[in-house]
């Protein structure tokens, strides 16, 4: 995220009526060094490793606001668990294999036909960042996995 962006997030949290607490600073530090997909439970654990007083409710409430501010997005992994990403990485959805539980990033061009069709036919705009398509990966399909 970088230092400049931090101070921006801080002032935007304040504008939303959230105080700049040590727990929130720790969460942003943890988010800043994370990569890929991280569950809320992982974030709580990482924050607690730095500050044992961190409560899950503080972490989840802050994540909600950061999402409203467009700083993080979430998608859904196994059993619907929320997995968080930091922007500004490229916008993407996910493919998830229900057999081996593998996940792969889905790029905008890969869903272009679907997105265009739904926009034209229904006036519906896909939220790519929140899109997860479940099915079987090529390996599992070839192996005849359920």
Q: Which residues contact 64 (CB under 8 A, 6 or more apart)?
A: none
> Residue 23: CB partners within 8 Å, gap ≥ 6?
47, 51, 53, 54, 55, 58, 59, 62
Establish if 99 lies at the interface with Zn ion (CB under 5 A): yes
CB of 63 to Zn ion, least distance (A): 12
* Cα distance between residue 97 and residue 134, in whole Å: 6
Whichever of 1 and 50 has its CB closer to Zn ion, that residue is 1
Q: How many residues bind Zn ion (CB under 5 A)?
A: 6
- Burial group, residue 110, by CB count within 10 angstroms (0-12, 13-18, 19+): middle
Q: Using CA atoms, how far apart are residues 42 and 50, in angstroms rounded to an integer?
A: 13
Please report whether residue 132 would count as binding Zn ion according to CB under 5 A.
no
**Bridge partner list, 39:** 83
Of 31, 43, 97, 106, the one binding Zn ion (CB under 5 A) is: 97
Span from 6-14, 15-23, 56-64, 131-139 in contact with Zn ion (CB under 5 A):
131-139
Judged by CB under 5 A, the residue of 49, 90, 100, 114 near Zn ion is: 100
Give the shortest CB-83-to-Zn ion separation in angstroms: 7
Determine, following the binding rule CB under 5 A, whether residue 91 of this chain makes contact with Zn ion: no
Q: Which residues bind Zn ion (CB under 5 A)?
A: 97, 99-100, 102, 137, 140
């Amino acid at each position: 995220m970088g230092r400049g962006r931090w101070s921006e997030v801080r002032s935007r949290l304040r504008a939303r009526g959230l105080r700049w607490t040590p727990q929130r600073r720790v969460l942003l530090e943890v988010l800043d060094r994370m990569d890929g997909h991280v569950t809320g439970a992982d974030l709580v654990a990482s924050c607690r490793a730095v500050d044992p007083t961190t409560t899950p409710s503080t972490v989840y409430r802050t994540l909600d606001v950061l999402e409203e501010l467009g700083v993080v997005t979430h998608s859904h992994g196994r059993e619907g668990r929320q997995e968080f990403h930091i922007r500004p990485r490229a916008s993407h959805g996910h493919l998830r294999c229900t057999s081996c539980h593998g996940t792969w990033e889905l790029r905008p061009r890969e869903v272009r036909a679907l997105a265009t069709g739904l926009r034209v036919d229904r006036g519906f705009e896909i939220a790519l960042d929140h899109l997860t398509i479940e099915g079987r990966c090529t390996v599992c399909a070839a192996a005849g996995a359920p």
